[in-house]
A and B are shown apart, each in its own frame.
Chain A
Amino acid sequence: MKIHPAYEMLRPDKNFPNVWCPGCGHGIVQGAIIRAVQKLGLDRDEMAMVSGIGCSSRMPVYCDFNSLHTAHGRAIAFATGVKLHNPKLHVIVITGDGDALAIGGNHFIHAARRNVEMTVVLMNNMIYGMTGGQYSPTTPIGKRASTAPYGTAERDFDPCSLAKAAGAVFAARGTVYNAAELEKLITQALAKKGFALVEAVSPCPTLYGRLNREGNAVKMMQWQKENTVNVKAAEKLPPEKVRGKIVTGVFHDAETPGYTEIYDRVIAKARGA
């Protein structure tokens, strides 16, 4: 029997089947993360996967890493403690649009500002899945949710712009339709020494799709395929041709010393003083 290449990084006992609905994109994101870790040859014992609460945040339980499933919104705060105490660990934060940008928004911007070395994989399905389809900070204005039966009145966040403005060294967006590109972006992010964000646009056919009549999982995947524009192509297009599309690729890539590196200098100064 041929074993799936990702199998060695999973925890098959008891935890499967996973909580994700048929057609959910989160499993594809998990596959992309595992392939990126394998490609970089990272030691599982040095991987720390930290998450908050929500559909996406169940991922650490399934991965055979050091895993820490924390409270709603607080993954990045916990991850900061993990990284600062043991800088050898490669910290991956698994989060969703509600977890990272609503309840955890403050931690998100401040960890980016401090440039704490961590890769944040933000699965953006534009809805709260686990609690049954309430609108999130990335639900586009006018779209329906269980708490927005007439469409939301709120504007949405662009997580990549937010991360860049707050001081992250890397901000990129991919889709689960283009899993190869997503894997590449996560690989790039994992190699960064600083706060790196990868936003993974992931369909939620069960709630977002149904409430907004966007069809089944296949139709939502088809929509991703047909409505994705690479950032380089988008730069050459007039704004009206980009509006409503998913722009993918690397938006920001900088080199700035990470927090633990700078903190080592603080320690040296304190000891010299």
Chain B
Amino acid sequence: MSKQVALLQGNEACALGAIYAGCDFFGGYPITPSTEVAEEMALMLPRSGGKFIQMEDEIAGIGTVLGAAAAGAKAMTATSGPGFSLMMELLGYGCMAELPCVIVNVQRGGPSTGLPTKGAQADMLQARWGTHGDHQAIALCPSSIEECFTQTVKCFNLAERFRMPVLLMMDEFIGHMREKMTIPQPGELETYTHPRPKIKPAEYRHFGEGTGVGGAYAAMGSGYRFNITGLTHDPKGFPTNRADETKWKMDRLRAKVADHLPELTEVEREFMDDAEIVIFSYGAAARTAQQAVREARAQGVKAGLLRPTVVWPFPDQVVTEALRQARAMVVAELNQGQMILEVERANRTHTRVLPALRYDGEMITPAEVMNVIAEAAR
């Protein structure tokens, strides 16, 4: 088969990536600027025998996704700021009940109704800490239309492997931007589906040994009659108040991410070998940052780009090392300063960290980033 090249919007590429990954369930609620994801899924899912449902609100959207996930679906929802806020309680349910699913947030300006048709990256810390209680988060950030596709596939793989909701933190710029991309052929990208248990039902423990990462787990209706609850529970899934069992569960949830940091660290580097001024950026802002770095190099400034594609868990080690190497780090993001807080936390060498921020709904320009690079180079 010849290569299929298409001119796609980020939201469309995300939906195509979901289908490629084997997504067979979508539940959601319309909200700008994410709606095209739902529209594409409504078109494509029934063709492959999957199910699409438009629910009565975003809470029901993620609720029905988690229910389908419990029944064995590769399930997904897509939303934006206000809907993401509504989903917070059940995002925590997904973490506690260890249900794999993908939640797409095409970020727009906030707070509240904010700027529905304009982009932002202002839900980055909400993605990490928005739901209550100690928990881990895995979140990816695409910078191109192609990455909207490939990272959606990766989100499904990670959700299946880590047994938890995985967030795709897009933004309106990427969601509505159009770019050319080559659609991957079947088999070209890895698609992972978690193994199903083979042991006798009587011996099955839904939250069995270890952290469960990469392990087998059953779906409701598969002959293994287990319990799922949002209450703290024992390895069989039955509610508990006991301190030892509570600690076991909380340690398990933490370890599944904390013990797999190398696997979950994914950072793109450009001109980093001899970089003195490092630009840390992600998502749409990283496209501007990339342009600024190239222009700075043309002017003889040793600038480099550090672009995490997995933003949560935060790539502490990589950033700490980059800060050790650099004279200064510029953090370019579309908010009043969110991931810069993580950069500062990882800064063990008291390296200068400068913000390059824009939060008026417009895209940050290369000139604006260049100004901060110039200041950093002084």
Contact = CB atoms under 8 A, between A and B. Distances in A.
Interface of A: 11, 14-15, 44-46, 48, 50, 60-61, 64-71, 74, 77-82, 84-86, 88-89, 106-107, 110, 263, 266-267, 269-271
Which 9 pairs from chain A and chain B are nearest by CB?
A81-B67, A77-B63, A78-B67, A270-B46, A81-B68, A81-B64, A69-B229, A66-B220, A85-B68
Interface of B: 24-25, 27, 46-47, 49, 51, 53, 55-57, 59-60, 63-73, 75, 89-90, 93, 219-221, 223, 225-231, 234, 238-239
Secondary structure type dominating chain A contacts: helix
Contacts of A44: 225
B220 A61 contact: no
Contact of B49 (A48, A78, A267): A267
A45 B53 contact: no
A130 B277 CA distance: 58
B25 A77 contact: no
Nearest to B61: A77
Secondary structure type dominating chain B contacts: mixed
Given A78-B67, A82-B68, 14 more contacts: A48-B220, A66-B221, A68-B227, A74-B60, A77-B60, A78-B63, A78-B66, A80-B27, A81-B73, A84-B64, A84-B68, A85-B71, A89-B220, A271-B47
A86 B72 contact: yes
27 contacts: A11-B227, A44-B225, A48-B220, A50-B67, A60-B227, A66-B225, A68-B228, A69-B229, A70-B63, A70-B93, A71-B63, A74-B59, A74-B90, A77-B67, A78-B67, A80-B63, A81-B53, A81-B69, A81-B70, A82-B67, A84-B51, A85-B51, A85-B68, A85-B72, A263-B46, A263-B51, A271-B46
A217 B183 CA distance: 67
Contacts of B49: 267, 271
A271 B48 CA distance: 8
B60 A45 contact: no
Given A81-B25, A107-B63, A266-B46, A61 B71 contact: no
Nearest to B75: A81
Given A81-B63, A85-B25, A107-B60, A267 B220 contact: no
A261 to B, nearest CB: 13
B220 A81 contact: no
Given A81-B25, A88-B221, A106 B71 contact: no
A45 B67 contact: no
Nearest to A84: B51
A82 B239 contact: no
B64 A77 contact: yes
